[in-house]
Amino acid sequence: MKFYIATDHAGYALKSYVIELLQTKGHEVVDLGPSNDNRVDYPDFANKCSHAVLGDKGSFGILICGTGIGISVAANKNRGIRAALCHDAYTASMSRAHNDANILCFGERVVGKGVIESMIEAFCNTSFEGGRHSDRVNKIDGCQIGKID
C-alpha cells in the first residue's frame, strides 16, 4: 500500500517510528512533513496529506497530532476524504470495513507504540465491506447544508 504521512508538532516525534514501521511491512511511504518539531498549524498538514491522497487514487494517509482530533476534523473538510480518528485495532479495522477510511488518524499524546502498530496492522489488513456501507459512504459527500435533510 502507498501512504502519505503528515503530523503537526505534537505528532512529530512519532513520525519516523511510523514511517519505519510501514516500510518494514513493505509499504511505500511519502513524508509530507513537518521536518522538525517547531510549532505548526495542524490544518495545513491535514490539507497537504488530504490533497495528496485525493490526487493519487488508491493511496492512503496517516495523520498525527496531539489528540488526533484537530487533524482529523480538518482533513474531513476535504470532500472525498474519510479520515478516521482511531484509538485501537478495533476502531482502525472498522474504519476500513464500514467507513472505507482513506486516512488513519491518531494522537501522539493518547496512544503508545504497541497500539499504533496494532492499528496500522488492522487498517492495512481490512478491506471495505461495500454493500449497504457503500450507500452510507456515498451519502457522506452529500452531507452539506441543504443537501440531506
Nearest CB to ligand RB5, comparing residues 65 and 83: 65
Contact 104, 95 (CB under 8 A): yes
The Cα diameter of the chain in Å comes to 46
Q: Is 31 marked as a binding-site residue?
A: no
CA distance 101 to 95: 5
Contact 84, 105 (CB under 8 A): yes
The verdict on 85 binding ligand RB5 (CB under 6 A) reads: no
- In the numeric block, the cell 479495522 is attached to 93
Q: Is 69 marked as a binding-site residue?
A: yes
**Grid coordinates of 21:** 514501521
Supply the minimum distance, in Å, between the C-beta of residue 82 and ligand RB5: 18
CA distance 70 to 91: 18
Active site residue: 51, 87, 98, 133, which one? 98
Active site residue: 65, 86, 105, 124, which one? 65
Supply the minimum distance, in Å, between the C-beta of residue 71 and ligand RB5: 6
Please tell me whether residue 62 adopts helix, strand or coil conformation: strand
Footprint of ligand RB5 on residues 51-80 (CB under 6 A)? 65-67, 69-70
Which residues are marked as active site? 65, 98
The contact set with ligand RB5 (CB under 6 A) reads: 8, 10, 42, 65-67, 69-70
Binding residues for D-ribulose 5-phosphate: 8-9, 66-70, 99, 109, 132, 136
